[in-house]
Structure 1
């Protein structure tokens, strides 16, 4: 059975790698999050939960909450809190639930970028990231403002 350690702990703790409003720095994720936030949320949830929940199940629950209650922000803010605790990130610019209530898309985009910065590819899921790590494929951290190909 593969280790439950994350693929890479190469990034520092204590600061977000990008700002809340830097959504367009990852245009494809920004578009996906605007039009289908349940997919972005599901991918984040699977990585944050270290594979104990699937992205499909988390995304589906997020969609149901969105369609029938409008309070999906309460569900997603829990995952922002978990992510912040894991990497000792500050609650900026305000509390997790307020960020998700007022800036849901920006918050999801920032969390997705943070996981990518810390060596994960959320699109691969938890097991995919473990396999990539075991095969020696480790994504280097991408700092804010660095050139990308």
Structure 2
């Protein structure tokens, strides 16, 4: 914990660790784009319900705001209104955000092409990368933060007005 000038301990916020880079080296994904079948349950989830996979990725990348459900719903609506051909525009922006978060070289055009041509594989790769970085994707952002800093949660607040 960090001690501010007031002497009251303040919890540090969690920031994912960016690996050290040497000059001229770039960090890349820990698994390949076509390694989908290394986790068959993730592959099936992404094939049948990509909105869940995307929602989980978006929640971690955006640090809990919006939630998995909200991001997944936007993805599902884009799939529905574009007949399954336009949601990749939304999801490719998260690939770029993820890469920027971990010091990978961001290539907006390449990221969009990957999501346009092979969105399920791209989602699986991003999901596996976040798992590799230590996130339990099923817990979401807030669950991972509670797991990271047990006991650092704010006290419960009484609901509603009482007399």
Aligned counterparts of 1:101 and 1:2: Cα–Cα separation in 2 = 41
The corresponding residue for 2:69 is 56
TM-score by length of 2: 0.75
Q: Say which of 16, 25, 33 aligns to 2:46.
A: 33
- Could you tell me which of 31, 43, 51 is aligned with 1:18? 31
Where has structure 1 moved over 3 Å in runs of 4 or more? Answer: 1-4, 10-13
- State the aligned residue count: 134
In structure 2, what is the Cα distance between the partners aligned to 1:51 and 1:2? 18
Aligned match of 1:113: 128
Q: Is the 8 A contact 1:3 1:130 kept in 2?
A: no
Higher relative contact order (CA 8 A, sep 6+): 1
Aligned-pair distance for 1:4?
3.7
Instruction: Please show how residues 1-149 of structure 1 align to structure 2 within 5 Å.
Output: 3-6=12-15, 9=17, 14-69=27-82, 70-90=85-105, 95-135=110-150
Shift of 1:116: 0.3
1:62–1:72: 8 Å Cα contact kept in structure 2? yes
Which structure 2 residue ranges, 5 or more long, are not aligned? 1-9, 22-26, 152-163
2: CA distance between counterparts of 1:31 and 1:12? 34
User: Rg: which structure is higher?
Assistant: 2
Which stretches in structure 1 are left out of the alignment for 5+ residues? 137-149
**Superposed CA offset, 1:112-138 (max 9, x none):** 0000000111111000000111139xx
